[in-house]
Structure 1
Amino acid sequence: MGFTSVNRRDVMKRSAAVGLLAVPGAAALSSCATGGDDDGDKAEKGDKTKKNPLGVKEDADLQVYIFNGGYDDKYAQFVTDMYGDRFGDATTDQKATEKIATQVQPRLVKGDPPDVVNNSGADNMNAGKVIKNKQAADLTELLDAPSWDDPNVKVRDTLIPGVEEMGAFGADGCYQLNIASTIYGNWYSDKMLTETLESDYPKTWDEMLAVCKKAKAKGIHGWTYPGGHPRYMLFSMFAMFAQAGGREVIEAMDYLEPGAWKHDAVKSVFEAFEELVAKKYVLTGFDGKEAHIEMQTAWTKGKALFVPDGSWVENEAKDTTPKDFRMAVGATPSLDKGDKLPFGTLYSPPGEPFLVPAKADNVRGGMEWLRMMYSRKAARNLFKQVSVMPVVKGAIDGMSLPPGVASSQKAVKAAGKNIVIAFWKEWYREMFDEDFNNVMGKFMLGDMSVKEAMDTMEKATARVAKDPDVEKVKRS
């Protein structure tokens, strides 16, 4: 799903220089610092001024499509209203849907797409293919534009590292931008862990097994996951791959290298979770259409201690979460003293992607909408609405934080430079959505051995690597 070769060193020089999140050594994407001005607007261009740096036509209408999932669409309506206030002669139209690809993809093909698309959810579009087909506008001009809050600071300089890099997909330019800082890991109730089980968060796998044993004695499962979406297990396993084997292991996965999924570190992580299954510490089920909601509800009702999840869970599960639940996220425990990276290593990529279709009626309006999204007031509203850390640096400083966000910020700070990102999950999406999902579906039920799981992912890697129809991201 990538494009061309990647110059990771250039990416990392910029990423390491600024912001809260660092992604040193990660297999990052090529820079978004280049690109042309051929945006394909159907609307006439307006005059560029200090107030209108992107030259939006004042009366050009704007249509926005938002994924109606864990964040719903109120945070986006806030920005759409900002746009309407700024461009009073324009008509704005925001639509919320769970079927982004189903509803938007045909319009891309017809050449009549909306102006902004929140390309998220289970039915999202394959971003790599959209970019390859030249259906996404290059957002470099947006990144180079003055930020909403300070005309002396470019938009790109207000964003945490990783946002720009995630949107390049190996090509010159930047085609997709994220708005949220996603924290993956082992989510749990601090009240259940510290009061019900009288335990500390496990920093080693032996401690994890001990906590699960104590939970089982009290009729509580140590773990659960959505049986309908077993790929969620990567949210807990990925940082363990990196901890056990170092960055070279996860980079080998990113670059589809032979043997990546047969590394001893990968084996040790699978064996650790195999023990959870064998000891019946895992609550299974939740196979329905809303499997993740079913799982989260069982979790907030106290049926399980740990779930593999992302930081959207605090908002998504808010209706069933007790007030004294004290939601928290923990980094993946260390397997042994031979781990290459320390406890605290965190899987934390930018998330919740947006793109502007290249053939939209109002491309410049779409970019302006995103410029507004990256304003401090929109970022703070995003946080207030959905309890997620925005990617705008310093946006929520001084604000009162709910337990999950406070725990997320603590985890990020503890991780420091030890932040990892599963780029293969983004570049070769079908490997995650189909291959890894199918593997974990069988593995977590005890129907697939460690060797079979590793062999299957190794074969999937080889298949994708040899597929001439899949564009590869290559090492520089």
Structure 2
Amino acid sequence: MSHPGEITRRQLLRRIGLTAFVAGPGAGLLTACATGGAAPAPSTAAPATTAAGAMSPKNPFGVDAKKPLEVTIFSGGYTDSYAKDLHESLYAKAFPGVTIKHNGTQNIGTQLRPRFVSGDVPDVVNNSGPEAMDLVALAEEGQLADLAPLFDAPSFDDPAKKVRDTVTPAVLENAKIDGKDLVLNYTVSHRALWYNSKLFESKGWTVPKTWEEFKALGEAAKKEGILLFAYPGQKGPYYQLWNMLYTAAKVGGNQVIIDIDNLVDNAWKADAVKQSLTAWLDIQKTYGDKAYLGLDHTQTQIKQLQNKVLFYPTGSWIENEMVKDKPMDFEYAIAPVPAVTAADKMPYEAIQVGVGENFIVAAKGKNPQGGLEYMRIMLSKEGARGFTEKTKNLTVVNGAAEGLDLTPALNSAAKAQDAAGQNIITDARFEGWYKELFDYATKQTNALMGGRITVEQFMETVQKKADDIKADSSVPKQTRNA
């Protein structure tokens, strides 16, 4: 059952130009009209001026071409070359002679928190990774620029269309903090269990659909000296937190995650949460290895490339992140989490599909107009298509992937989404809304999987943290209906 506001298979694939690929012969007709309704008329407002420069249809924010632009990018699975070699290059082409300062880092919080305190901030920030900053806190401090002008601006490719009409609707739904458009999520990701399809083919194994089949495969893998499952305990334990929450959603429906996001009383003690935690703890004890709790994401992913781990809980960025290390006999493919019970509310085929990789413009930066224009360029067909070519990951821009030769991992993800249909597991938004709660739950995940606390203690302590945040009037509260 789908919920209003979720990305359905048809909506998402039409808007990112993949319908013809996954829907079979004749489906290409859908891609001819990626967005519904008539295009809005071009703005007839007279050009205005700002302190930055003159506004025009080609320069809707009044960017001063002489003003430098500073961009900070999280250099993780996507690296930072897409920004340095593509988006910044396109910006420089639009404003010849401009100076662009680029900074790629895996330590976003460490580097930028002091700068936000001092007021010396970059204009554009890709706020991702294990050190991502608390966006709600930044919003409360007035640090995030309003992106409504970006979404209402003429698109880079077609001035007759607004930017908001060129992206999948989930972008607009997930942009809001306290009702304001403050965050741009740029990528479409598929999160579930990733595995080596060539290994499965060589062993004659089939992807398990039930928990019993999952454990049976674990026994077979044991005989081959292979772990059924592992996740990184360092710089990535939230992968397993996501995995457990998505499993809980399959057991009890998306309302399980919606209640957690809305700080509903005892949401973390729901039966579906308990069943998910219990099932995954059993897998860890029987088929896992505590040594992996001391490894980071790259080290764990290398182990999988060496066929020492069958299933790894992550997103579709994994292929690009490991492209330099991936051997020829390894081919990434995605598998839904097996059904935990025969009474699960969502079918086996359900996977999580969402938008992510958030970008912000600093309201107190030296060139916020340039920051908005940089994002407008990111959301152009050339900017989005180039990102997919460089990172082997999809963006939120409608039709930008049309005609591209997709990798095996993206092909697998597209087929999995096709199979899921409208059974899409929703994003857990408390990660961005209540960073303290997310970080605490992440730490407790390691404690649970390491055998230091029980399932009941995990639920009790994380629920207590959620209750404390709910009772803290200084923490701004967010709500969602679906």
TM normalised by structure 2 equals 0.87
**Residue number among 314, 320, 327 corresponding to 1:322 in the alignment:** 327
**Residue number among 258, 265, 281 corresponding to 1:258 in the alignment:** 265
Q: Say if 2:348 is the partner of 1:343.
A: yes
- Separation (CA, whole Å) in 1 of partners of 2:169 and 2:197: 30
Post-superposition shift, 1:13? 9.5
Post-superposition shift, 1:131? 0.7
| Amino acid of the structure 1 residue aligned with 2:227 | H
Residues 119 and 355 in structure 1, CA contact (< 8 A), matched pair in contact too: yes
**Residue number among 4, 7, 12 corresponding to 2:5 in the alignment:** 12
- Separation (CA, whole Å) in 2 of partners of 1:352 and 1:200: 32
Provide structure 1 residue ranges, at least 5 long, that are not aligned to the other structure: 1-8, 23-42
Post-superposition shift, 1:343? 1.6
Q: Which whole-Å deviations, capped at 9, do the CAs of 1:137-195 have from their partners, x for residues lacking one?
A: 001000011111111221111112322222212x2321110111122110111112232
Residue 6 (structure 1) aligns with = none
- Overall identity of the aligned pairs, in %: 37
- Separation (CA, whole Å) in 1 of partners of 2:10 and 2:146: 24
Residue 26 (structure 1) aligns with = none
Q: Is the alpha carbon distance of 1:15 and 1:219 closer, same or farther for their aligned partners in structure 2, counting shifts above 3 Å?
A: closer
**Residue number among 107, 120, 126 corresponding to 2:134 in the alignment:** 126
Residue 206 (structure 1) aligns with = 212
| Amino acid of the structure 2 residue aligned with 1:384 | E
| Amino acid of the structure 2 residue aligned with 1:212 | G
Q: Say if 2:91 is the partner of 1:86.
A: no
Give the length in aligned residue pairs.
443
SS in 1 for 2:169: coil
Q: Say if 2:57 is the partner of 1:50.
A: yes
- Separation (CA, whole Å) in 2 of partners of 1:85 and 1:151: 19
- Separation (CA, whole Å) in 2 of partners of 1:475 and 1:223: 33
Residues 109 and 133 in structure 2, CA contact (< 8 A), matched pair in contact too: yes
Residue 224 (structure 2) aligns with = 218
SS in 2 for 1:182: strand
Residue 24 (structure 2) aligns with = none
Residue 436 (structure 1) aligns with = 441
Residue 36 (structure 1) aligns with = none
Q: Say if 2:160 is the partner of 1:152.
A: yes
| Amino acid of the structure 2 residue aligned with 1:195 | S
Residue 244 (structure 2) aligns with = 237
After superposing on structure 2, the runs of 4+ consecutive aligned residues of structure 1 that deviate more than 4 Å are: 13-18
- Separation (CA, whole Å) in 2 of partners of 1:139 and 1:15: 25
Residues 8 and 422 in structure 2, CA contact (< 8 A), matched pair in contact too: no
| Amino acid of the structure 1 residue aligned with 2:434 | Y
SS in 1 for 2:215: helix
Q: Say if 2:277 is the partner of 1:284.
A: no
Residue 29 (structure 1) aligns with = none
Post-superposition shift, 1:15? 9.0
Residues 100 and 120 in structure 1, CA contact (< 8 A), matched pair in contact too: yes
Post-superposition shift, 1:463? 1.7
Q: Is the alpha carbon distance of 1:262 and 1:329 closer, same or farther for their aligned partners in structure 2, counting shifts above 3 Å?
A: same
| Amino acid of the structure 2 residue aligned with 1:368 | E
What RMSD in Å do the two structures reach over aligned CA positions? 2.3
Post-superposition shift, 1:284? 3.0
Post-superposition shift, 1:21? 8.9
Residue 35 (structure 1) aligns with = none
Post-superposition shift, 1:136? 0.5
Residues 347 and 421 in structure 1, CA contact (< 8 A), matched pair in contact too: yes
Residues 7 and 353 in structure 2, CA contact (< 8 A), matched pair in contact too: no
Q: Say if 2:310 is the partner of 1:305.
A: yes
SS in 2 for 1:12: coil
Residues 245 and 273 in structure 2, CA contact (< 8 A), matched pair in contact too: no
Q: Is the alpha carbon distance of 1:157 and 1:15 closer, same or farther for their aligned partners in structure 2, counting shifts above 3 Å?
A: farther
| Amino acid of the structure 2 residue aligned with 1:331 | P
- Separation (CA, whole Å) in 2 of partners of 1:226 and 1:192: 21
SS in 2 for 1:181: strand
- Separation (CA, whole Å) in 1 of partners of 2:314 and 2:408: 15
Residue 361 (structure 1) aligns with = 366
Q: Which whole-Å deviations, capped at 9, do the CAs of 1:209-261 have from their partners, x for residues lacking one?
A: 11111111111110111122322212322221111111222111111111212
Residues 230 and 292 in structure 2, CA contact (< 8 A), matched pair in contact too: no
Residues 19 and 159 in structure 1, CA contact (< 8 A), matched pair in contact too: no
Residue 332 (structure 1) aligns with = 337
Residue 83 (structure 2) aligns with = 76
- Separation (CA, whole Å) in 2 of partners of 1:15 and 1:286: 35
